[in-house]
Homo-oligomer: A and B are copies of this chain.
Amino acid sequence: MAGTAERRTARMLPNAVFAPVRSLTAFEETVERLGTAIKLGLLTPGSRLPAERELCARLGIARSTLRQALTALSQSGHVFATRGRGGGTFVSDPQPPTDPPSPEMLALWRETCDQRLAVELGVAVLAAERAERADLDALDELAATLEGALEDFAAYRQADVRLHVGLAESTRSTQLVRAMTETQGAMTDLIAYIAHPPQVLSSSNTQHRRLLAAVRERDGMRAAQIMTEHLQGTEHILAGLLPGG
């Protein structure tokens, strides 16, 4: 009977429908967005942000709100500003250390990984459909960079993020790019304090190569398959170290 199905299926639904609707303030969201982009190295040290008057327009917020965010980012050392013509707000050179993952972050690490799986799978399949030759050439270069950074995890991680975000860009979906940067930001917090021996990074990079090859051959399902294995790597490591594994 349909009634039975409804009763069974509807069990956990209200938990999702009636879950908290805590929306971040414009200030918080701005700090999050810019801060994540800087931490991930998407905004490179030394690079200049758009002028405040232009940036607040792009972000759709008031200038005073943007300044709050920039003040916060400057106090945390991610950014500094110089005045006068030719001045501006710049990404700081020595990046402050990533803050340790919060308890609630650790409690929800599995949800974070699930989210990542969805984003990365979607990206893999769509990239296989839409990535252009030039995109893939650039991504291959990044994979080469990765191979030279097996000993320096910070450098490796940054190039890794660039590769995954770059793959998302090749789908031409701004939503997926945003979701990917968000996800990578959350993952960085999780894996920053975990040991990554060179051989792990090396095998991870082998998967990158195979992934790009599959995308190049427009084989979305093989790309998805490789991506799944790729992500399960980190997931297994986390499962061994964190509660709820």
Q: Which residues of B contact A19 (CB under 8 A)?
A: 58-59, 174, 178
A12 touches B125 (CB 8 A): no
Q: Which of A110-118, A194-202, A206-214 contacts B (4 or more CB under 8 A)?
A: A110-118
Give Cα distance in the complex from A177 to B37, angstroms.
27
Known: A2-B141, A21-B60, A121-B121. A16 touches B181 (CB 8 A): yes
Known: A21-B26, A58-B20. A9 touches B228 (CB 8 A): no
A235 to chain B, nearest CB (A): 11
Interface residues of A in 147-166 (CB under 8 A from B): 162, 165-166
Provide the A171-203 mask, 1 if CB < 8 A to any CB of B, else 0.
111111111010000000000000000000000
Check A43 for interface membership: any CB of B closer than 8 A.
yes
Check A123 for interface membership: any CB of B closer than 8 A.
yes
A34 to B, closest residue via Cβ: B17
Known: A1-B141, A121-B122. A12 touches B221 (CB 8 A): no
How many A residues are at the interface, by size bracket? 35 or more
Check A15 for interface membership: any CB of B closer than 8 A.
yes
Give Cα distance in the complex from A224 to B222, angstroms.
11
A21 touches B61 (CB 8 A): yes
A12 touches B61 (CB 8 A): no
Q: Which residues of B contact A33 (CB under 8 A)?
A: 17, 21
B16 touches A21 (CB 8 A): no
Identical subunits present: 2
Give Cα distance in the complex from A240 to B214, angstroms.
29
Provide the A214-225 mask, 1 if CB < 8 A to any CB of B, else 0.
000000110011
Q: Which residues of B contact A138 (CB under 8 A)?
A: 4-5, 8-9
Q: Which residues of B contact A177 (CB under 8 A)?
A: 12-13, 16
A117 touches B111 (CB 8 A): no
A191 to chain B, nearest CB (A): 19
Interface residues of A in 91-107 (CB under 8 A from B): none
Give me the interface of A with B, judged by CB distance under 8 Å: 1-2, 4-6, 8-13, 15-26, 29-30, 33-34, 37, 42-44, 50, 55, 58-61, 110-111, 114-115, 117-119, 121-123, 125-126, 134-135, 137-139, 141-142, 145, 162, 165-166, 169, 171-179, 181, 220-221, 224-225, 228
